[in-house]
A and B are shown apart, each in its own frame.
Chain A
Amino acid sequence: DTAVSQTPKYLVTQMGNDKSIKCEQNLGHDTMYWYKQDSKKFLKIMFSYNNKELIINETVPNRFSPKSPDKAHLNLHINSLELGDSAVYFCASSPGLAGESTDTQYFGPGTRLTVL
């Protein structure tokens, strides 16, 4: 009964390929996020969706495209992978947009992407 799940857990691929990472949450949350954690363990937000609508889009190359088919899913598609894309990608979710009780973000287990 994992709350926030991601697939795959590990992804090894060649430069130039296109790949997708899937995220699902069964918490009934309205908001989902993608974060990137680099080799120095620094976590940085990439995107946020609320009820399938994009609300945060940080300075991320447009090779990265999030897709939210419904509010329980937020997938990350990456085109033309580059060496610098190697990192751990975390999905997270939170209950909503307003109010203290809705602010806590819960993280998935992460996907370690290695680009060769």
Chain B
Amino acid sequence: EDKVVQSPLSLVVHEGDTVTLNCSYEVTNFRSLLWYKQEKKAPTFLFMLTSSGIEKKSGRLSSILDKKELFSILNITATQTGDSAIYLCAVLQGAQKLVFGQGTRLTINP
């Protein structure tokens, strides 16, 4: 069965800390891996990773994919309270089907 597993499920840190969120997957017909941030409403797109070893960066956020070991990490440096959210990892399969992980709930305390 296709599955995407995220860890940790919940993380509480102080403002300014650096966090690493993990996503491992076992899916058929892998096309790409996507990271989303979900605050109160819709998931908003962060990154899409298709190739191994190429880091994608956006401000304090960065992500990398390892297609041999079947995992990805999302790093957030110098965290801010606005980074508090649920971070979702999803793997895109052949016919545009996204398989989501259960999410990591990140809480940044001032």
Contact = CB atoms under 8 A, between A and B. Distances in A.
B103 A105 contact: no
A98 to B, nearest CB: 9
B62 to A, nearest CB: 18
A17 to B, nearest CB: 25
A109 B42 contact: yes
Interface in B58-87: 86
Given A48-B95, A97-B95, A107 B100 contact: no
24 contacts: A33-B96, A33-B98, A35-B98, A41-B86, A41-B103, A41-B105, A42-B100, A43-B43, A56-B97, A90-B43, A94-B96, A97-B95, A103-B31, A103-B32, A103-B34, A104-B45, A105-B34, A105-B96, A105-B98, A106-B45, A107-B42, A109-B41, A109-B42, A110-B41
A10 to B, nearest CB: 12
Interface of A is mostly: strand
A97 B48 contact: no
Contacts of A33: 96, 98
Interface residues of B, number: 25
Interface string B83-110: 0001010101001111110110100000
Contacts, number: 63
B32 A100 contact: yes
Contacts of A4: 42
Given A41-B86, A41-B103, A43-B88, A103 B96 contact: yes
A41 B45 CA distance: 17
B29 interface: no
B22 interface: no
Nearest to A41: B103
A77 interface: no
Interface string A22-43: 0000000001010100001111
B96 A43 contact: no
